[in-house]
Amino acid sequence: MKKIELNDILKYRFLSGVRYSPNEKCAAFVLKYADEKKNSYPSFIYVVEGGKVRQLTGLGKEGSFFFEDDENILFVASRSDEEKESAKAGSEETNYYRINIHGGEAVKAFTLPFSGSISERIDKTRFLINGHFDIDYPDYYKMSAKERKEVAEKVKEEKDYQVVTESPFYFNGAGYVNKKRSGLYIYDMKTKKTERITDDKFDVSDSIILNDYIYYMGGSFTVVRPRNPQIYKYDLKTGKTVCLNFGEELKFGGLTVIDNKLIVLGNDEKKHGLNQDEALYTIDESNGKLTKFFEPDRSYWDSVGTDCALGGGRNMIEGEKLHYISTRRNASEIFSLDKSAKEKAVTDFGGAITCFDVTKDAKEFLLVAFMGQALEELYRLKNGKITKLTHFNDSMLKGRYVAVPEKITIQSEGYDIDGWVLKPIDYNPKKKYPAILEVHGGPKTVYGEIFHHEMQVFASEGYFVFFCNPVGSDGRGCKFADIRGHYGDHDFKNIMDFTDAVLKKYPQIDPKRVGVTGGSYGGFMTNWIVGHTDRFACAATQRSISNWISFHGVSDIGPFFATDQTAGNIEDKVKKMWEQSPLKYADNVKTPLLFIHSDEDYRCPLSQGMQFYTALANKGQIVRMCIFHGENHELSRSGKPKHRIRRLTEINNWMKEYLER
């Protein structure tokens, strides 16, 4: 049986953005793959009709699309030489092309005079657009081509400088966002006119059209971006906007609709802080009151970790019933919720659903999902039967060793903790093997029983691989996820207890040849582990946190995340933050440690890895750091193909050096 090779990631296909046409007779989705030569991810639109799948576009740059009607798709592209040159010159225009679902040449439909994307269709000629702009040039969309060119030249002149006047001033994956906003626009294809309906300092976080109104969420600011957006209502007939003021108590997270009634996702963060899942509220606009409608004690998204998904899609769809993805225990499933707040599980196959769409009568679903140990594919769910519609990745795994997770549930710190073990290729129970412990990020995510390239590579390299979901993980309610003020406490004990249980159940593992690795929270925990035990032969820490105090102010979420998660602050509870910082325990470290970090990681900034690296290097410890230029916090999941391969090569070589002696 063939091994899963490290660079097999170049052969995988990634699906996203599935969506039905208005008449629901066909659907479309996006397919991407890793192109090593171009070091990028070409992106194509595919159509599903009559159970058959066919490729619609072929340039490899069509990733964002919208059904204009039953027969035509609008997608963003720069196809003409003029458009390409304009983009190189710094133009913020967005060109939409139209293509028939049955093929033919794409023709230009319209151009938005700013960077933006279609949110919803208002009527036959008008679209609601989410557009991006700089508050120094709020009327950019009204300017002539000559004026926009002058703006582009001014911006280009400032490329060597970065002036910061706001907080936070950058976001992971978006770069510096100082003075950058998302606004709502109405674009009319017939008149080719554009109107911005939000003010020139407003930042929109969500919007939805209901009856003759656009409801949207966000707020205006000049220095500090508010974490508690307000809800606004725009009248499509009169053009007037009102604020539905509900005070400061709830932090609103989204808008949706159930049976023609507006529903708001909100969270007061009183019980569990940022770990608290949002409840659903109905709105009484006559008196400004919110009434809690539903509280599932679960998140509304897929939080099952994998490095084989690329791109987004819909995870909540309004209608007569609300349908949404939610993580339950160790898997993500689709649930429905009716107007009487009755919830029902629609799927229950124990895998992970990354996005979906549903027909208006809720009798048919299309899912982009991981099932069993297969890679991502498109499935149809109808009458309780799941049908696989695509087979892009079937041949990739055929004849290869794919380790099947063997579940272990242990008791630790008053909780039952779920975990899994992957056996190495050509497993012989009479032999001794090295092993690698993997720790997930988040911490509010989960591991599940789905395909994970990195883990399968390690299994094919001859390692046992084991992993678990300690306290702090998603899928089991807010209380289980709440480790505020206790980082490195019960979670660390859970992971060590699980390690003990694995070594006991699998005596074939050599306890002297066990390594550990993890990224983000998993990087924090790797740092914590090596500072509190020397039981591991080596470790690889990725995009980690080492110092909660210095994390404040340099992370895009630092000002609120560090304070919430440590139950400390930089004003008068610094000790609380320092006690939970791995850097405090650097003198205890004896484990050879590899650091993986990216210089554009604004979630867990490079300085976090550098501080821990320097502390260990200066006392003579065995350390190595690999820094990826131009990458961010998502390196392992969506970094450039060559960088992803190099990252995994670094970790694999490190493990071999210390675990195969």
Q: What residue segments make up the domains of the chain, in order of their start?
A: 10-113, 115-244, 246-295, 298-400, 401-659
pLDDT, average across residues 250-255: 90
**Structure tokens given for 290:** 């919110």
pLDDT in tens, 498-545: 999 999 999 999 999 999 999 999 999 999 999 999 999 999 999 999
**Structure tokens given for 468:** 């678990």
Contacts of 65 (CB under 8 A, 6+ apart): 17, 19, 28, 30, 45, 73, 74, 75, 76
What is the reported pLDDT for 595?
98
pLDDT in tens, 452-482: 999 999 999 999 999 999 999 999 999 999 9
**What mean pLDDT is reported for the chain?**
95
What is the reported pLDDT for 511?
98
Asked if 356 and 306 count as a contact pair (C-beta separation under 8 A), the reply is no
Confidence of residue 84 (pLDDT cuts 50, 70, 90): low
pLDDT, average across residues 181-203: 96
pLDDT, average across residues 443-453: 97
Asked if 27 and 47 count as a contact pair (C-beta separation under 8 A), the reply is yes
Options 1.10.3720.10, 1.10.420.10, 3.40.50.10610, 3.40.50.1820; CATH of 401-659:
3.40.50.1820
The end-to-end CA distance of the chain, in Å, is 25
Asked if 244 and 257 count as a contact pair (C-beta separation under 8 A), the reply is no
pLDDT in tens, 590-617: 999 999 999 999 999 999 999 999 999 9
**Structure tokens given for 244:** 């539905």
Confidence of residue 158 (pLDDT cuts 50, 70, 90): confident
Cα–Cα distance, 574 to 582 (Å, whole number): 14
Instruction: Give 585-622 as a DSSP string.
Output: GGGG--S-EEEEEETT-SSS-HHHHHHHHHHHHTTT--
What is the reported pLDDT for 159?
86
Asked if 401 and 479 count as a contact pair (C-beta separation under 8 A), the reply is no
What is the reported pLDDT for 156?
86
Tell me the β-bridge partners of 594: 540, 624
Confidence of residue 86 (pLDDT cuts 50, 70, 90): low
Q: Is 169 left (phi over 0), alpha (psi -120 to 50) or beta?
A: alpha
DSSP 372: T
Kindly give the pairing relationship between strand 72-76 and strand 464-468: unpaired
The number of C-alpha atoms within 13 Å of 567 and in the hemisphere containing its C-beta is 13
CA dist 645 → 172, 365, 498, 576 (Å): 21, 35, 30, 38
Considering just the CA atoms, what is the radius of gyration of the chain in Å? 25
Confidence of residue 558 (pLDDT cuts 50, 70, 90): confident
Q: What is the largest CA-CA distance in the chain?
A: 78
Asked if 607 and 279 count as a contact pair (C-beta separation under 8 A), the reply is no
**Structure tokens given for 469:** 């979901």
What is the reported pLDDT for 87?
60
Confidence of residue 280 (pLDDT cuts 50, 70, 90): very high
CA dist 136 → 200, 201, 225, 399, 625 (Å): 9, 9, 17, 58, 40
At residue 319, the 3 state secondary structure works out as: strand
Cα–Cα distance, 13 to 4 (Å, whole number): 15
pLDDT, average across residues 334-347: 96
Q: Work out the angle between the directed axes of helices 490-505 and 521-532 (0-180°, nearest 10).
A: 80
Cα–Cα distance, 211 to 235 (Å, whole number): 10
Confidence of residue 89 (pLDDT cuts 50, 70, 90): low
Q: Is 406 left (phi over 0), alpha (psi -120 to 50) or beta?
A: beta
Tell me the β-bridge partners of 234: 214, 241
Q: CA 126, 127, 128, 134: dihedral to nearest 10 degrees?
A: -100
What is the reported pLDDT for 92?
82
Cα–Cα distance, 339 to 258 (Å, whole number): 6
Q: Is the pLDDT of residue 80 over 90?
A: no
Beta strands in 319-388, from DSSP E residues, in sequence order: 322-328, 331-337, 343-345, 352-358, 364-370, 377-382, 385-388
More confident residue, 283 or 437: 437
Nearest Cα to 131, choosing from 191, 65, 196, 225?
Answer: 196
Q: Is the pLDDT of residue 395 over 90?
A: yes
Confidence of residue 63 (pLDDT cuts 50, 70, 90): confident
CA dist 313 → 16, 121, 270, 284, 437 (Å): 6, 17, 31, 30, 31
- CATH architecture of the domain with range 298-400: 6 Propeller (2.120)
Contacts of 589 (CB under 8 A, 6+ apart): 530, 531, 616, 621
pLDDT in tens, 13-56: 999 999 999 999 999 999 999 999 999 999 999 999 998 999 99
What is the reported pLDDT for 88?
58
Helix (H) or strand (E) run with residue 434 in it: strand 433-439
- Percentages helix, strand, coil for the chain (3-state, rounded to 5) are 20, 35, 45
Starting at the earlier edge strand, list the strands of the sheet with 26-33: 13-20, 26-33, 43-49, 52-55
What is the reported pLDDT for 325?
98
Instruction: Give 236-273 as a DSSP string.
Output: TTT--EEEE---SS-EEEEEEEETTEEEEEEE--TTTG
Asked if 395 and 429 count as a contact pair (C-beta separation under 8 A), the reply is no
Burial (CB < 10 A; 0-12, 13-18, 19+), residue 193, is: exposed
What is the reported pLDDT for 559?
83
Q: CA 85, 91, 94, 97: dihedral to nearest 10 degrees?
A: -20
Confidence of residue 335 (pLDDT cuts 50, 70, 90): very high
Cα–Cα distance, 517 to 531 (Å, whole number): 14
Q: Is the pLDDT of residue 550 over 80?
A: yes
